[in-house]
């Protein structure tokens, strides 16, 4: 109780006579409704966390998921072997403007995260104005979703932006029941599916939330849901056609996660919920401190939500309960990181559902806390991470990617006298060589080149680490069946600003036809 009164007294004193260091923050908060405060916050977010990524991974390559996304985006397609095509489209569009480099893709990842937060703000604006809009964003910045999860730009992180955008359009379609918003809801719903099939849980949550809402009759007897359905299916038609032509390969890949028994599914479901709670822990504690004694009204406020927030709350509940139910019924895997893009729903409901205003004393403190964490991560955490990884490495071998790619390319050119056209072997090394080699070979069998020749016509390099006997055996067997080949072995060593680090052996099979 004393703690609550102390905070209240400080807030009152700060409101009347703010400290000089608080005044720039107060001016910034005054600019929220003027339209420049939120873009400034997001720009600072991108700058600081891009710097963090560039420093933390200075001696290492990009995560294999990012390299795979870049590989999928090299040619436009309505699908690929593992996932729907949206992540590849984004990477391909980005690469057409920015160079294929580590810094460029770190910037892309953080730009996607900032876009996601901007889409969240679109939703928040439906229910709150002023400081609460920033509070929602600050609380989300205190979760790991928009920095560490987002830096692996893949099918999961793409959903950070598509989910709030689709939610916003669905809310507008449900409220207005007009043709433009119904069409927008269908189009953005299709976009989420083109990001990852996991998004069907969001779309199912839309339907169930609408069915549970007091205004369900007005919505379902209007043309709005049917327009959304038709537009969504039309937007997905080319991808569906691709699936039929390619034996639904990404769906088969998704079904590979559906082989668990009931005990494993129960454990996964428990850890799924616990993982989401852990991801929200810092933000939740921060909000509880800000609310103070008013947190006791939380249950009453949640039961008295207005129609729009009630719809949003139903969607939020569905995005957690439906995956859990599916995991128990189908035996699917259920990592909590698959659902991080839905955390914004709970934050918006909690903050906008609070009937009381938040004192600027607390808003400024939250801003300083969030900024301090980001700056400390960039200036202290990132260098320590880079130093540690230079010595201890990564299981996937990220600290060696550039050196392996250069050495494999050099040896291939020396032996054949032509550019390296194709690379395979262990996935991480093959993807890395495709990205970091100056020849940018195709990973896997690939498609025909512009002259109509198969990449197999030009041979390939198969790469494995020496501690991967299964990869080496498979590569040697494939090389023996393909034609003439030689086997080379070399050792690579990580380097960080001239400091030598750990070493690892590599086996390269150079195959010609």
Residues 141, 97 within the same domain? yes
Residues 221, 303 within the same domain? yes
CB 149 within 8 A of CB 195: no
Residue 4 lies in a domain: no
27: pLDDT strictly greater than 90: yes
Residue 315 lies in a domain: yes
340: pLDDT strictly greater than 80: yes
Q: Which of 350, 379, 408 is the last residue of a domain?
A: 379
Residues 306, 409 within the same domain? no
Residues 406, 264 within the same domain? no
- Tell me which of 277-281, 384-388, 394-398 is least confident: 394-398
The DSSP bridge pattern shows strands 485-496 and 422-425 to be unpaired
Considering its fold, how many domains does the chain have in total? 2
Q: What is the pLDDT of residue 82?
A: 87
399: pLDDT strictly greater than 70: yes
291: pLDDT strictly greater than 50: yes
Residues 477, 332 within the same domain? no
Across all residues in the chain, what is the average pLDDT? 91
Residue 384 lies in a domain: no
Residue 435 lies in a domain: yes
Structure tokens that stand for 339 in this block: 């659902």
Q: How many CB atoms lie within 10 A of CB 376?
A: 12
Residues 200, 149 within the same domain? yes
Residue 11 lies in a domain: no
Q: What is the pLDDT of residue 238?
A: 96
Q: What is the pLDDT of residue 17?
A: 63
Query: Which of the pair, 259 or 133, is modelled with greater confidence?
Result: 133
Residues 362, 297 within the same domain? yes
Residues 369, 469 within the same domain? no
Q: Which residue reads 């006791």 in tokens?
A: 296
Residues 88, 223 within the same domain? yes
Residue 498 lies in a domain: yes
18: pLDDT strictly greater than 90: no
Residues 370, 406 within the same domain? no
Q: What is the pLDDT of residue 2?
A: 40
Average pLDDT in the 406-424 region?
A: 94
Bin 181: left if φ > 0, else alpha if -120 < ψ < 50, else beta. alpha
Residue 14 lies in a domain: no
- Tell me which of 175-179, 305-309, 334-338 is least confident: 334-338
Residues 371, 407 within the same domain? no
Q: What is the pLDDT of residue 11?
A: 57
Q: What is the pLDDT of residue 10?
A: 59
250: pLDDT strictly greater than 90: no
Residues 99, 246 within the same domain? yes
Burial of residue 495, with CB atoms counted within 10 A of its CB: 0-12 exposed, 13-18 middle, 19 or more buried: middle
Q: Which of 379, 412, 434 is the last residue of a domain?
A: 379
Q: Which domain holds residue 233?
A: 38-379
Residue 1 lies in a domain: no
Structure tokens that stand for 363 in this block: 């808003």
């Amino acid at each position: 109780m004393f703690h609550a009164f102390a905070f209240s007294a400080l807030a009152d004193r700060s409101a009347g006579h703010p400290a000089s260091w608080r005044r720039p923050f107060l001016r910034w908060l005054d600019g929220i409704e003027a339209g420049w405060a939120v873009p400034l916050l997001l720009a600072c977010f991108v700058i600081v966390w891009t710097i963090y990524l560039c420093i933390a991974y200075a001696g290492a390559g990009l995560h294999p998921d990012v390299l795979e996304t870049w590989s999928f985006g090299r040619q436009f397609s309505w699908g690929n072997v593992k996932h729907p095509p949206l992540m590849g489209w984004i990477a391909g569009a980005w690469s057409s403007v920015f160079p294929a480099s580590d810094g460029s893709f770190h910037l892309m990842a953080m730009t996607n995260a900032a876009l996601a937060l901007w889409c969240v703000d679109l939703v928040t604006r439906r229910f709150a104005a002023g400081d609460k809009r920033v509070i929602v964003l600050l609380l989300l910045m205190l979760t790991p979703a928009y920095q560490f999860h987002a830096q692996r730009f893949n099918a999961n992180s793409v959903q950070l932006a598509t989910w709030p955008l689709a939610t916003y359009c669905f809310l507008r379609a449900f409220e207005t029941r007009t043709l433009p918003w119904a069409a927008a809801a269908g189009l953005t719903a299709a976009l989420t599916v083109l990001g990852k099939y996991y998004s069907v849980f969001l779309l199912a949550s839309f339907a169930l939330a609408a069915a549970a809402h007091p205004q369900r009759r007005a919505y379902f007897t209007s043309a709005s849901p049917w327009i959304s359905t038709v537009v969504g299916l039309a937007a997905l038609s080319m991808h569906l056609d691709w699936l039929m032509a390619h034996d639904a390969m990404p769906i088969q890949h998704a079904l590979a996660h559906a082989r668990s028994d009931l005990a494993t599914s129960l454990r996964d479901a428990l850890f799924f919920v616990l993982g989401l709670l852990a991801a929200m822990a810092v933000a939740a504690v921060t909000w509880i401190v800000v609310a103070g004694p008013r947190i006791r009204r939380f249950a009453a406020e949640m039961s008295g939500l207005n129609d729009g927030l009630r719809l949003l709350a139903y969607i939020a509940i569905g995005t957690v309960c439906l995956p859990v139910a599916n995991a128990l019924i189908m035996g699917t895997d259920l990592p909590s990181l698959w659902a991080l893009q839905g955390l914004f729903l709970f934050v918006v409901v909690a903050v906008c559902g609070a009937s009381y205003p938040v004192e600027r004393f607390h808003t400024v403190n939250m801003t300083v806390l969030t900024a301090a964490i980001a700056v400390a991560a960039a200036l202290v955490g990132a260098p320590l991470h880079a130093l540690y990884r230079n010595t201890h490495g990564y299981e996937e071998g990220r600290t060696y990617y550039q050196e392996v790619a250069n050495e494999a390319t050099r040896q291939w050119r020396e032996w054949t006298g032509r550019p390296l056209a194709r690379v395979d072997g262990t996935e991480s090394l093959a993807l890395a060589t495709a990205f970091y080699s100056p020849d940018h070979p195709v990973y896997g069998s690939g498609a025909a080149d512009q002259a109509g020749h198969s990449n197999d016509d030009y041979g390939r390099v198969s790469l494995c680490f020496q501690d991967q006997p299964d990869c080496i055996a498979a590569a040697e067997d494939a090389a023996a069946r393909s034609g003439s080949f030689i086997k080379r072995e070399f050792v690579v060593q990580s380097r960080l600003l001239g400091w030598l680090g750990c070493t690892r052996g590599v086996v390269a099979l150079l195959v010609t036809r």
